[in-house]
Amino acid sequence: MGTLISIVFLLYLLCIIFYSSSWIQDNDIRHVALSFFGHAVIISQIIVPLWATRNERSFTDASIVHTTKINMLEAFLETADGYHAFSEFARIQFSYENAVAWKACSDFKRHGGNSIALYDTYIKAQSVMETNIPGTLRKYYYDIFEKSRKGHRILGYESALDKDLAIFDRFREAILKLMVLDTLPRFQVHPLGKGWQTFVETQESHFVLNHLIGAIDRPENLVVPFDGNVQKVVDRVRRASANTRTDSKVKRELLATKT
């Protein structure tokens, strides 16, 4: 769809350049190209994303543990390949600022840094890469970085903020929720998101194996995993365990034959 928009836009530029041509004026090619360009934008940015969400479950579905879904996305973004794929997709979806804002908050959480610069770049109203966060949250950070800090610079207030590694936790969580709602559904069905499902299945299996191995035969007691389907995860783990046991049995038989 991006290629189509580029072609129509190029056609429109040619119409402007050769506007004096009688053929263009007689057939009103400029306005036809402009009309196609407008329709291409509407289809690619509104209709296609809405169509892609037709089979999605509501984010408020009680069968989904919201925090688990958010944590799954954050774990995916913490991998180099995951962040690269997701941020590239966010770039073409015009939501790149969310991905880089999350990365900035994640780095700050680990190592600290310039808190004022992070606020001025991603949170402050009319900033260079302003993110679409709730007004109450923006005001919360405004009170910290602009309203309350006045008169405190001499006392080292800014340096204290730089050392507060949890100061952007609310902002990071808001960005993750926004990406789960807005970007993740389309990312899952895009070629750039081909590694997402494999990552989710691996994480779900590890979750069951590491934390609930004792309850493997009682799925009704399991915590609901990412996709809400407990039995599917249990069956996957059982198949993996069965394959492991089969491989071990074959190896023992081969060793016995050799001896």
pLDDT of res. 108: 95
Answer yes or no: is 74 within a domain.
yes
Determine the pLDDT at residue 64.
39
Question: How remote is the C-alpha of 218 from its chain's centroid?
Answer: 33
pLDDT band, residue 151 (cuts 50/70/90): very low
What is the three-class DSSP state of 23?
helix
Q: Are residues 177 and 204 in the same domain?
A: no
Co-location of 93 and 138 in the same domain: yes
pTM score, two decimals? Answer: 0.60
Closest CA to 20 of 9, 7, 10, 29: 29
Residue 172, domain extent: 66-193
Q: Output 199 or 221, whichever has higher pLDDT.
A: 199
Q: How far apart are CA 135 and CA 114, in angstroms?
A: 23
Q: Based on the domain organization, do 71 and 189 belong to the same domain?
A: yes
Instruction: Tell me if 60 is assigned to some domain.
Output: no
Residue 57 resides in a domain: no
Tokens of residue 251, six digits? 């190896």
Residues 103 and 209 in one domain: no
Residues 174-193 have pLDDT tens digits of 999 999 999 999 999 999 99
Extract the tokens encoding 177: 């929720």
CB 85 within 8 A of CB 214: no
Query: pLDDT grade, residue 61 (50/70/90)?
Result: very low
Please tell me the total count of domains within the chain: 3
What pLDDT is recorded for position 236? 63
Summarize pLDDT for 26-59 with one digit per residue, the tens: 666 556 665 666 666 666 666 766 666 555 444 3
Q: Which residue has the higher pLDDT, 225 or 140?
A: 140
Alpha-helix residue ranges (DSSP H) falling in 122-221: 135-142, 157-162, 169-182, 184-187, 196-211
Of all residues in the chain, the percent with pLDDT exceeding 90 is 37
Shortest CA distance to 162 belongs to which of 97, 216, 115? 115
**Residue 237 scores a pLDDT above 70:** no
Domain shared by 72 and 142, yes or no: yes
